[in-house]
Structure 1
Amino acid sequence: MSQVLVIGARGKTGRHVVSGLVSRGVSVKAASRNPDEFDGGHGVPTRFEWHDDSTWGSALNGVDAVYLVKPESEDVVDVVSQFVSRMQDAGVRRLVLLSECATQTRTDDVAERRAELAVEATSLDWTILRPSWFMQDIIDDDFFGPMIRDDGIMVMTTGGSATAWIDARDIAQVAVELLISGGYSQQALDLTGPQALTLSELADHISAAKGTPVLGVEETVADAESRMRQDGYDEDTIAYLTRIAVSIIDGHTSTVTGHVESITGHAPRTLESFLAENEAQLQPSAPTDTSESAEQNLAAKNEALFRRLVAAWARSDFDALLDCFADDMIYTDMPFHDAPVVGKPAFRRHVTDYNALFAHGHVDAELVTVVSTDSHVVGELSCRAVYVGPGAPTDGVPVHWYATLVDTVVDGKVTSEHAYFDPTVFANAVQHVTA
């Protein structure tokens, strides 16, 4: 093999593909938009831009194999199709495409599957890699890093299903072996770590490594889509991220495969070893300097506290719920404002009795709106449950109600909470089914 082109040479996997190939004596073109800024791997810095095809020819010149990381763009299918055609014209023999988990479950009209089909239609000696979620995303500033470090939560949409997280370095080592030695031609490989974990189990592992509690917060598909729209995501991106969430919910990320070990000769790295190695990146960020940014940071922390509180209540995790409150907290059901609940022991009894009104103590609570400041959080909840309280039939009765919580937060704990809701919802539901 004379030379390999690595596209995305500064990325999570690409940088390790470059260094892995170089360590094996392979000549590497390390492609990036700004090659002068390339800072690792010892490959030959090579200018490459997906949307400037004048850079493609020189990048492909003299290349036998390509490691291809798709661009993040609306026209990804067209760009990848044109590029693999140019690869064939340039005499490139081997292609390893980094795709994503569960793409085989998508219909042929979605972008990520169409990009794979464009590769499969070529005469190239191709292999497609479909890795599970990267462990690196846990500490990445653009993914879960900030919420874990500063808010003590990890928000995902999983439906209770597990994910077999994988270290990006293991993905890169698989790619290196396939680029050098070949094999697995015209195949797509599902790459995973050694263990599939639910969100709750993942949060426990992160908590142990971080040294402070991290709560896994389950977000419904509808709630996630609403949040992304509020954050300004375009509809194509929302649809893409929703497909990933649905893949997790459907269990497509829960299967552990043996491809990493069979191809590289070593077992994939464990989550425990990854977290231990990156323990410093799990710790809280340094405080900001300006008062304005401090207020914004405090408001974000308060919202995260509120989300933890709602998630813990909805699943009857009373220890996690009470951890969100100050010892001398005051809770008031506003329809019964003359009977406030004072102190955590009394509140535990109150909320235990309340959640016992619902089958298995479970409530599906969707956050409709959340507004937070440096001292208060107001949240509107859409709640669904099976009511099994007084008057309900043996199997219970489905109920749907809205509630608004107004919380005062001091030093990271809720000191008072006022709950506004219509208490006649439950009696009306019972009356409806028994009428």
Structure 2
Amino acid sequence: MTTTTATTLVTGATGTTGSRTAAQLTAAGHRVKAASRRATPVAGAEPVTFDWHDPTTHAAALDGVDRVYLIPPLGDSDPAAIMLPFLQQARAAGVHRAVLLSSSAIPRGGPAVGTVHQALPDLFEQWAVLRPSWFMQNFTDTHAHARSIRDDNTIWTATGSGRVGFVDAGDIAAVAVHALTDEQAPNTDLVLTGPEALSHDDIATVITEVTGRTVTHRRLSYDQMRDRLTAQVPPEFAAMLTDMDRAIANGAEDRITDTVQRLTGRPARTFRSFLERETRRSG
């Protein structure tokens, strides 16, 4: 990795991967503009106001920037409608490298951010698309799984015994830093996982062993899970999330990759190690 005078715009700089990416970049001596709707201060970075849905914030955020880390607008079923005009503006403003956060569940040309993924190589000569599996943080932060664990010691899914290569957001950020700062951009998409594929039964067992509180995975049918989620989010989003659970049940996420090790030079964090660290921090 080479430290340069380049400036990186990190969108979603207060979010799960954005905050970690901004922190790792600044710790390595890189210049960062930390973008959020309220220009929240981030240590070592220049805070800047940025709202995907407010184009008047875009030009100032891009001023002096030559690379961007892109977190799609949350909850937007058609992010390309907003992101592609921004990326065209970014290219015109001098940005030459873009790293996009997508998902292992969404291929190039697929729905939602898959459309942005497909367009990225034609917009920038240097690019990467990060496609992480499900976050380990889903069991400890504000995600529905974390809330149900805190509320009733239960994880509710329609994943059956399907396994997932859960990945630590810190490892995602480490790969993002390399993709943004290495002399040669990856110019490909990168599927990111942890070092093991675990079922939600396995996750419940590890949480029970590490924390001492008995956590259970409750297996729901597709319809039961969709109805449960519909009480929390719009019906079409509930159906999409339940479809993802069904894909997991059918083995779509039962894989591991060496991407974290290959790009960062260190092994991806295990879920047990992640949870032990989080438990120490909160204890």
TM-score (structure 2 length as normaliser): 0.92
SS in 1 for 2:155: strand
8 Å CA contact retained: 1:3, 1:63? yes
1:247 maps to 2:247: yes
8 Å CA contact retained: 1:145, 1:282? no
Q: 2:161 & 2:185 partners in 1: Cα distance? A: 33
Cα deviation for residue 257 of structure 1 reads 0.3
Q: 1:23 & 1:123 partners in 2: Cα distance? A: 26
Q: Residue 282 and residue 210 in structure 1: after superposition, are their counterparts in 2 closer, same or farther (change >3 A)?
A: farther
* Corresponding residue of 2:85: 82
Alignment of 1:222-301 (within 5 A): 222-231=223-232, 233-279=233-279
* Corresponding residue of 2:10: 6
1:215 maps to 2:216: yes
Cα deviation for residue 62 of structure 1 reads 1.2
The percentage of aligned residue pairs carrying the same residue is 34
Q: Residue 6 and residue 172 in structure 1: after superposition, are their counterparts in 2 closer, same or farther (change >3 A)?
A: same
SS in 2 for 1:273: helix
8 Å CA contact retained: 2:205, 2:215? yes
Q: 2:126 & 2:190 partners in 1: Cα distance? A: 14
Q: 1:236 & 1:77 partners in 2: Cα distance? A: 18
1:84-125 CA-partner distances (Å, limit 9, x unpaired)? 111111121111101011212x8x462232232232442341
8 Å CA contact retained: 1:154, 1:217? yes
8 Å CA contact retained: 2:33, 2:47? yes
SS in 1 for 2:164: coil
8 Å CA contact retained: 2:78, 2:113? no
8 Å CA contact retained: 1:92, 1:124? no
Question: Which of the pair has the greater relative contact order for Cα pairs under 8 Å at 6+ separation?
Answer: 2
Q: CA RMSD in A?
A: 2.0
Runs of 4+ in 1 over 3 A off after TM superposition: 182-185, 280-283
Cα deviation for residue 51 of structure 1 reads 1.0
Q: Residue 89 and residue 243 in structure 1: after superposition, are their counterparts in 2 closer, same or farther (change >3 A)?
A: farther
8 Å CA contact retained: 1:16, 1:41? no
Q: 1:253 & 1:183 partners in 2: Cα distance? A: 29
Gaps of 5+ in 2: none
8 Å CA contact retained: 1:139, 1:281? no
Alignment of 1:4-403 (within 5 A): 4-35=8-39, 37-38=40-41, 40-72=42-74, 73-104=76-107, 108=109, 110-183=111-184, 185-231=186-232, 233-279=233-279
8 Å CA contact retained: 1:163, 1:197? yes
Q: 1:225 & 1:266 partners in 2: Cα distance? A: 39
Q: Which amino acid aligns with 1:128?
A: V
Cα deviation for residue 243 of structure 1 reads 3.5
Cα deviation for residue 282 of structure 1 reads 8.4
Q: 1:183 & 1:90 partners in 2: Cα distance? A: 21
Gaps of 5+ in 1: 284-435
8 Å CA contact retained: 1:77, 1:118? no
Q: Residue 13 and residue 144 in structure 1: after superposition, are their counterparts in 2 closer, same or farther (change >3 A)?
A: same
Which one has the bigger strand percentage?
1
SS in 2 for 1:103: coil
8 Å CA contact retained: 2:132, 2:167? yes
SS in 1 for 2:190: strand
Q: Which amino acid aligns with 2:60?
A: S
Q: 1:167 & 1:123 partners in 2: Cα distance? A: 28
Q: 1:150 & 1:188 partners in 2: Cα distance? A: 37
TM-score (structure 1 length as normaliser): 0.61
Cα deviation for residue 173 of structure 1 reads 0.5
